[in-house]
């Protein structure tokens, strides 16, 4: 019970500034545009009378907000207002403000109530109604944005976990006649280079790079590593692991890659440049 009361107080505190702002807006609008004949009042009494109209708006907003907040906390403790409740709330703001203004003008301001006066009352009462609706939409969008950020963080963690598991998998490189097998973790393979009738596999072992020759073609090896999306061909004789790329360099129209901790340059041909840029 105490928790719900504290939630109610918090909700009201969040909206008091908005209610005061709306009321002040109504006060300034009536004062400067003078939509109603208030000539029977002197300036000071006119200010008091118009302040009464602003006060009506403030208390209607406050009472409806208290009622709505209590209803939400009773039905949904998570403070998620149904959309239909917002429409009902806005309709009540418009209706109660219009009726209260009409009676206030007729019996306190002694203003003759005509169709034109009622029309102006309705227009003025649209101010708090529209402001309340815009505030609800802003709050709803903020809530959606917050939910999307939470969902994004969850997905990022899942992707990071998947990438970690993926990179820690071992990949088996087979020789052409399957007489030799080299098993290396995906994360450790730096690049694969064609060397005549062999392929040269450069991989990281602790803090140093090592090379291993396997009798096979680069095309066959490319088929073996096809399930692993972090490998990309950068040259007709070379396939590189995106995880190890440090920078794509250009010099006099020629392109080459530098790998993290590796001294030699990896060639990049124009044929594969665009695809490499998109991946990198």
Q: How many CB atoms lie within 10 A of CB 74?
A: 9
Task: Pick out the chain residues at pLDDT < 50.
Answer: 79
Q: Which of 259, 186, 172, 175 is nearest to 228 (CA)?
A: 186
Domain with CATH 2.40.50.1020 in the chain: 170-279
Number of Cβ atoms within 10 Å of the Cβ of 33:
10
Q: What is the pLDDT of residue 96?
A: 92
pLDDT of residue 81: 52
Q: What is the pLDDT of residue 224?
A: 86
Asked if 233 contacts 219 with a C-beta cutoff of 8 angstroms, the reply is: no
The pLDDT of residue 61 is 86
Residue 278: its pLDDT value, please? 83
Q: Of 222, 228, 242, 244, whose CA–CA distance to 166 is shortest?
A: 228
The answer to whether domain 170-279 has CATH 2.40.50.1020 is: yes
Angle subtended at Cα 244 by Cα 238 and Cα 246, rounded to the nearest 5 degrees: 100
pTM of the model: 0.54
pLDDT attached to residue 203: 92
């Amino acid at each position: 019970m105490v928790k719900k009361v504290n939630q109610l107080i918090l909700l009201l505190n969040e909206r008091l500034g908005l209610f005061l702002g709306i009321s002040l807006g109504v006060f300034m609008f009536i004062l400067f545009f003078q939509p109603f004949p208030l000539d029977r009042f002197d300036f000071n009494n006119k200010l008091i009378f118009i302040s009464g109209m602003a006060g009506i708006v403030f208390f209607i907003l406050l009472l409806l907000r208290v009622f709505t907040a209590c209803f939400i906390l009773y039905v949904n403790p998570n403070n998620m207002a149904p959309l239909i409740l917002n429409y009902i709330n806005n309709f009540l703001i418009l209706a109660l403000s219009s009726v209260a203004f009409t009676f206030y003008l007729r019996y306190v301001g002694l203003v003759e109530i005509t169709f034109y006066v009622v029309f102006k009352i309705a227009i003025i009462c649209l101010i708090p109604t529209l402001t309340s609706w815009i505030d609800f939409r802003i709050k709803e969008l903020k809530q959606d944005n917050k939910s999307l950020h939470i969902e994004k963080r969850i997905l990022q963690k899942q992707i990071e976990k998947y990438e970690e598991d993926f990179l820690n998998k071992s990949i088996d490189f087979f020789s052409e006649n399957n007489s030799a097998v080299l098993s290396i973790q995906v994360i450790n393979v730096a690049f694969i280079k064609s060397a005549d009738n062999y392929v040269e596999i450069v991989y990281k072992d602790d803090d140093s790079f090592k090379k291993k020759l396997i009798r096979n073609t680069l095309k066959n090896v490319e088929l073996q590593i096809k399930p692993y999306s972090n490998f990309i061909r950068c040259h007709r004789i070379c396939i590189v692991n995106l995880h190890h790329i440090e920078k794509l360099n250009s010099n006099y129209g020629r392109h080459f890659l530098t790998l993290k901790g590796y001294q030699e340059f990896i060639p990049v041909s124009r044929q594969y440049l665009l695809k490499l840029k998109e991946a990198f």
